[in-house]
Structure 1
Amino acid sequence: MLADFAIKTVINGIALWIAAWLVPGITFGSNPDTWAVVRTVVIVALIFGIINAFVRPLAKLISLPFIILTLGLFVFIINALMLELTSWVAGKFDLAFHVEHFFWDAVIGSLVITFVSMILGFFNPKD
């Protein structure tokens, strides 16, 4: 169980890093120290994983009528909300992770994270 969480955290970290690289409004700060950025990515991936494990199911349950009405597309909005919540929590821990705007940056970032996680999930030996 712990190994599965570690693999998912690594996948989330890579997906977050790629989203920050592709979407201009998602940043990991401007620190030139590579190890500081890697540390930030790992901690943010842990926060993102915890939020997705505990908050996301509740948000999906509450918004179930909207998910059904939009044939599942509202899940991308929920994912964007989880990304915004991760940005807020990371700010409380003084981490250099920030999402600028909800619609453009968070929604597009959540799409990138979803697709990268899906592609990397194919290589997960547990599945």
Structure 2
Amino acid sequence: MLRFIIQAVVTALGLWLAAQIVPGVDFTSTGTLVAAAVLLGLVNAIVRPIMVVLTLPLTIVTLGLFLLVVNATMIGLTAWFLGGFVVNGFWAGIGAAIVTGLVSWVAGAPFSSGERAR
């Protein structure tokens, strides 16, 4: 449970930064931002694995770059489900996926070395 909360906070930070940097990504309130982070976590846990398997041939052909499109689709799906969180278009979704992914990668770096030691 604690891991899910930490991941939701990191995702919220990534979405907030994406809203500041990427044109076309916006949210109406802090509550919407938190709800978007939690919903994105659920979408990534349920829908994303199915999409990754279904698009595996395309991901292999593009040497993994298609996963960026899958991540952008998950952010767009979250925005579609949640009023108050807006992603205007494909490129805004790609930008949000890049920013959110980078924030998650940087925030997760201190924890990854401990998992490898086990």
Task: Tell me the TM-score normalised to structure 1 length.
Answer: 0.85
Query: How far does residue 23 in structure 1 lie from its aligned partner after superposition?
Result: 0.5
| Secondary structure of the structure 1 residue equivalent to 2:82 | helix
Query: How far does residue 83 in structure 1 lie from its aligned partner after superposition?
Result: 0.7
Task: Give the aligned partner of residue 27 of structure 1.
Answer: 26
- Does residue 1:85 correspond to 2:85, yes or no? no
Pairing partner for 1:111 from 87, 92, 98: 98
Task: Give the aligned partner of residue 100 of structure 1.
Answer: 88
Q: Deviations over 1:22-80 (max 9, x none)?
A: 01100013xxxxxxx22111111000000000000000000000010001000000001
Distance 1:41 1:8 in 2: 14
Q: What are the ranges of 5 or more consecutive residues in structure 1 without an aligned counterpart?
A: 30-36
Identity of aligned residues (%): 38
- Is residue 7–residue 124 contact of structure 1 (8 Å, CA) maintained in 2? no
Closer, same or farther: CA 124–38 of 1 in aligned 2, 3 Å: farther
Task: Give the aligned partner of residue 74 of structure 1.
Answer: 66
Distance 2:96 2:41 in 1: 16
Task: Tell me the TM-score normalised to structure 2 length.
Answer: 0.91
| 1:121 partner letter | G
| Secondary structure of the structure 2 residue equivalent to 1:76 | helix
Task: Give the aligned partner of residue 13 of structure 1.
Answer: 12
- Is residue 15–residue 116 contact of structure 1 (8 Å, CA) maintained in 2? yes
Query: How far does residue 17 in structure 1 lie from its aligned partner after superposition?
Result: 0.5
Number of aligned residues: 114
Q: What are the ranges of 5 or more consecutive residues in structure 2 without an aligned counterpart?
A: none
The RMSD of aligned alpha carbons is 1.4
| 1:110 partner letter | A
Query: How far does residue 124 in structure 1 lie from its aligned partner after superposition?
Result: 4.2
